[in-house]
Amino acid sequence: MRSSHLLVYMLSFGLVAFLVTALFPQLSSIWVGCLVGVLGSAIAYPIDKWLEKREETK
């Protein structure tokens, strides 16, 4: 995995963690962790695939 791909995943997980804790402060930490994992991956995976295709065409 390239560092740019890792950065995409880190940024998306961080963004989702921030939004989930800001919008739903009453959620327990286990639910926050589940939401961060699922939503962060859902955001980062298409971006990761797009970056991969972009690198292949160069």
Residue-level pLDDT at 24: 87
Where exactly are the structural domains of the chain? 3-57
Q: What is the 3-state secondary structure (H, E, C) of the chain?
A: CCHHHHHHHHHHHHHHHHHHHHHCCCCCHHHHHHHHHHHHHHHHHHHHHHHHHHHHHC
pLDDT digits (tens, 9 = 90+) for 15-54: 999 988 999 889 888 888 888 999 999 999 999 899 889 8
Residue-level pLDDT at 1: 60
pTM above 0.85, yes or no: no
Output the CA–CA distances (angstroms, integers) from residue 31 to 16, 17, 22, 23, 26, in the order listed.
13, 11, 14, 13, 10
